[in-house]
Structure 1
Amino acid sequence: MAHEPLLLIAANDPTPLALAPWAEACRAALDAGERLVMLFGRPDGNAFMLTAVLQPPATGLRVLRARAPRGASYPALTASHPAAQIHERELWEQTGPNGITPEGHPWLKPVRFEGARQQRMDEYPFFTVRGQEVHEVGVGPIHASVIEPGHFRFMCHGERVQHLEIQLGYQHRGVEALLLQRPPLALTPLIETVAGDSSIAYAWGYCAAVEALAGIAITPEAERVRGIALELERIAMHLVGLTGLATDIAFLQGGATYGRLRTAIINATMRVSGSRFGRGWLRPGGVRHAIGDERRRDLQATLAAFAKDLAEVNALVLGARSVRSRLQGVGTVSARAARDLGLVGHAARASGVDVDTRADLPGRLYTAHPVTPQVEYDGDCWARLRVRMREIDESLRWLDTLLADPAIDLATASPPPLGAPKPETLCISVREGFRGPVVQAYETDAGGRLRHVKLQDPSLPNWFGLALAVRDNEISDFPICNKSFDLSYCGNDL
């Protein structure tokens, strides 16, 4: 049976552990090679309910839960498993001043400056590099154009970066709290805007979660349409990254062509769904827009013309000595570092870490229509460029398998009726967006209302990877390192 990108359990089954055995169980799981997918806590009377979402090798998701008194502490997992660092920082921050402390955490700093910390962002304890010829360069939080707020502090020796620290959290959007103010089945318009470049990934993960909570299964036809929507989004957003990389190194023909090709993809999405970002396409129970014969032919024709032009511009970019010399060997993250830091998405795969939810947790859709993860091994900007190109090619191949086969029905997508969500139930949902897994957790109370929502953009574990990539590079290399990761400020600043 295929491992599902979704887990549904009774909220207290199994019975939550005490804090110490929970921490030891988490450590043992990580020692055994399980991946820490998500770690969060919520208030539970005069205590906190903690949840660790784990993915063992070659199996489905599982959780370890604990009930811990306020003000409690446990030995930090980060000391032996650096991939836990951002998750434990977030847990410490979100449980507040009298919350849960990971003792011995080497980098215990705010992630988003929530609550009372909002007025204390200028007290952020930046790491410092000492030396007579060391200087600091601060960039942001206000940037040019439409870039969202974030502060980058470079510690440099001459032009060479010794360390980069990234301070985010300026937006204070309160997304998770806002989601609790509406009925569970009416959240799609909000979910689609958590990170605008991943509208489909977030919407599909949310829809899958509320469908599981309501006890229904969508039709295979609707699931195929959702898969098509997600792959179109993946292509379009990888093209944004390729446009940025080409533009940042002044390879203008590549930048202009990738931008033009992205327009073709998002316009095709608009012709099917009414939105260039696919907003309104997915809803709990199915999809609002199936793909009939006319739209199917339109997509096929668009993708065929697109693939021809894409191959030409890719060959031009890959064959240019100026591109190779600017990107190769710049911003390298080794396979060990990527694995230790828990990097995800194309950033991990460019460093030789073969993780892709579509292959690891394929569910019904990707079991019937498999995806081959695209992996490079050099871990530099050149590798991240090549992975993006290859992932677009793989998405095109995958789309063609569905669109070109007349036996595959994409036009019948009638949604089943949705009942009330199950009470006292926890659902974890994962979907592989273009930059990595979008993870969502929804827990209901005794009345079937949402008690807690936790969202995690793939940018969260990857920001530290960007900081590591810049080390020992010139400060002028930062723009291309940044674009090669293509992380989301708003995906972090929930």
Structure 2
Amino acid sequence: MNSRATKVWPLEQSRRKDLDQFVQACRQRLGAGDRLVTLFGRQEESNRMPGVVVTAIFQDESGELQALHCLTDRDKQYSALTPDFPAAHIFERELWEQTGLTPEGHPWLKPVRFEGKRQGQMAEYPFFSVRGQEIHEVGVGPIHAGVIEPGHFRFMCLGEQVHHLEIQLGYQHRGVEQLLLRRNPMLLAPVIESICGDSAVAYSWGFCAAIEALAGYEVTPECDMRRAIGLELERIAIHAATLSGMATDIAFLQGGGTYGRLRTAIINAVQRVSGNRFGRGWIRLGKSKPFTDTLRVDLIQTLAAFLRDFDEINQLMLSSQSVKARLKGTGVVTRQAADELGLIGVAARASGRAVDARVDLPNQPYQRFPIASTVQETGDCWGRMKQRMEEVDTSVAWLLKVLQEEKPTAAPTKEIGLAANSPLKPDALAISVVEGPRGAVVQAIETSQAGRIVHYKVQDPSLSNWFGVAMALRDNEISDFPICNKSFDLSYCGNDL
């Protein structure tokens, strides 16, 4: 398997016997500059080793993924990582909510999605309160005026200026991780594609890569390349939809209409390949949708026509004084804040933080055809708009190069996929990282000694980025919220799972 984005560890190699030892090892890695990709836990119910299993995945300075694993007693306390390494804050909150392990000294220990014993306690959420005689609070949601997922936003304001925004999510928690353990893993693809519906390709590729690694199955290079093509088309479609929303929010009607039309052209092309406009069915275990040469030529023609109109509407947006006045300097997240909060994906790159799994953890297609990753330095809504424009340009250029030079329609062997009874490597941990449109989609699968899946961890990039929206609103006016929110364009269901 020639991919840095997917890795399998025998659990014994990474296991620590003591929670304090585990936390100290995490602290040492973070202190050395390693990036915390994820930190999570699960309840261990077997008689062999009851307690809580905790796992941390890091990306070291060489770009390699590293794992730490620990078994500890239930209801234990440990010294929180967050005061020294703020990027750990959301992971430690989730770990506390799901396992009961308490990070002593955590400055913001609040539920993420109200799991387990906290179900039904949303009304008791401990909102932060800003004190002052003229401070007032404005609550928005969870039911919104438009077609939008449920979430509550509480603004603490002095006049029109926002001093603090607190975001409470969890209204559509579906218990995804437990649901994924209830059926044969070889039949999970349709469920995986539904976790975050507009990122179906990113999720299904990560799922298939992890299961294939555990099964010791290698897909053909042509299959991998078609997967990457689907992923870049998905990226273009979501970025175009976000740009349409941003233009609409500032009443720039040419942009709202044109970006929306261009997104439709892309998702219609996706449907012609996979049979679904959101790319469902594009990727399955051991295989992906086959291309005919007619479809390849059709994609080239679609992308060429898309790029002409996309460049034209971009120039209108970038040259408009009203767009500049509304977006420049609005919703700034500094590079320092992005680093400390551990922002990823578009949100990070728009603040100057170069985090992109296609570059940092390239799999076969991106090794053979490297893709450029750009950053912006302003960290404002303007920067996030420009970042999306440049990423679309980059994805289109990459796709045209691959489709014209690689011609991924021919495969030397027939792709038959994995059988429903394919055995998985026992007592192992597999992780896959796929750079979806919003950032890295992380999936981790742990197997028992019998080769059965005992834990399936799903992590959407939105989990790491929602606090960035709150930071962006500070010292802005409350009327700036729709623009800031849309410039991040995060997923509610991706957070709630």
Query: Which category describes the TM-score, using the shorter chain as reference length?
Result: over 0.9
1:470 to 466, 469, 473: 473
Larger displacement relative to structure 2 (144-153 or 130-139): 144-153
| Matches of 1:269 and 1:411, distance apart in 2 | 19
Deviations 1:6-49 (A, max 9, x none): 11011222333311111011011111111111111111243111
Q: SS at 2:15's partner residue?
A: coil
Is residue 89 of structure 2 the alignment partner of residue 85 of structure 1? yes
| Preserved contact between residue 218 and residue 416 of structure 1 (Cα < 8 Å) | no
1: CA distance between counterparts of 2:167 and 2:268? 35
> CA separation in 2, counterparts of 1:473 and 1:487?
19
- Offset of 1:3 from its aligned partner? 6.0
What secondary structure sits across from 1:64 in the alignment?
Answer: strand
Indicate the residue corresponding to 2:374 in structure 1.
374
Q: Deviations over 1:211-256 (max 9, x none)?
A: 0011011000000000000000000000111000000000001100
Alpha-carbon distance in 2 for matches of 1:339, 1:137: 29
Match in the other structure for 1:20: 20
The aligned runs of 1:119-130 (5 Å cut-off) are 119-130=120-131
Structure 2 equivalent of residue 214 of structure 1? 215
Structure 2 distance, partners of 1:332, 1:230, is 29
1:451 is displaced (CA, Å) by 0.4
Secondary structure in 2 matching 1:481:
helix
Question: Are the aligned partners of 1:222 and 1:410 in contact in 2 as well (CA < 8 Å)?
Answer: no
Question: 1:493 is matched by which residue type in structure 2?
Answer: D
Q: Structure 2: which 5+ residue stretches go unaligned?
A: none
Alignment of 1:424-435 (within 5 A): 424-435=427-438
- Cα distance, 1:421 vs structure 2: 1.2
Within-5 A mapping of 1:78-227: 78-95=82-99, 99-227=100-228
Q: Which moved more, 1:407-416 or 1:434-443?
A: 407-416
**Structure 2 match to 1:56:** 60
Equivalent residues in 2 for 1:432-471, closer than 5 Å: 432-471=435-474
Q: Which amino acid aligns with 1:392?
A: V
In structure 2, C-alpha distance between the alignment counterparts of 1:475 and 1:16, rounded to whole Å: 47
Give TM-score scaled by structure 2 length: 0.97
Q: Deviations over 1:54-93 (max 9, x none)?
A: 0112321111111111111110000100000000000000
Q: 1:468 Cα deviation (Å)?
A: 0.3
| Structure 1: gaps of 5 or more residues | none
Moved more, 289-298 or 442-451: 442-451
Partner Cα distance (1:195, 1:429) in 2: 16
1:113-140 per-position Cα deviation (integer Å, ceiling 9, x unaligned): 0122121111110000000110000000
Aligned residues: 489
Q: TM-score, normalised by structure 1?
A: 0.97
* 1:417, distance to aligned residue in structure 2 (A): 5.1
Corresponding position of 2:409: 410
Could you say what secondary structure the match of 1:331 adopts?
Answer: coil
- Contact kept in structure 2, 1:10 and 1:425, CA below 8 Å: yes
Measured after TM superposition, the shift of residue 145 of structure 1 is 2.9
Q: Distance in 2 between matches of 1:8 and 1:165?
A: 38
Could you tell me how far apart the structure 2 residues matched to 1:205 and 1:151 are? 30
Letter aligned with residue 22 of structure 1: F
Q: Return 141-150 or 214-223, whichever deviates more.
A: 141-150
SS state at 1:126 partner: coil
1:386, 1:17 → 2: CA distance? 48
Partner of 1:301: 301
Report the residue type matching 1:447 in the other structure.
Answer: A
What is the aligned-residue RMSD (CA, Å)? 1.2
Structure 1 residues 353 and 2, CA, compared in 2 at 3 Å: closer, same or farther? Answer: farther
How far off is 1:446 after superposition? 2.3
Structure 1 runs of 4+ with >6 Å offset: none
Q: Secondary structure of the equivalent of 1:152?
A: strand
Deviations 1:412-455 (A, max 9, x none): 27325533111211101100000000000111112222100110
Q: Please tell me the residue identity of whatever aligns with 1:433.
A: G
- Asked if structure 1 preserves the Cα contact closer than 8 Å seen for 2:93 and 2:111, the reply is yes
Question: Partners in 2 of 1:272 and 1:169 — Cα distance?
Answer: 35
Aligned to 1:489: 492
Contact 2:215 2:425 in 1 (8 A): yes
Amino acid in structure 1 at the alignment position of 2:364: R
Distance in 1, matches of 2:138 and 2:327, equals 23
Secondary structure of 2:153's aligned partner: strand
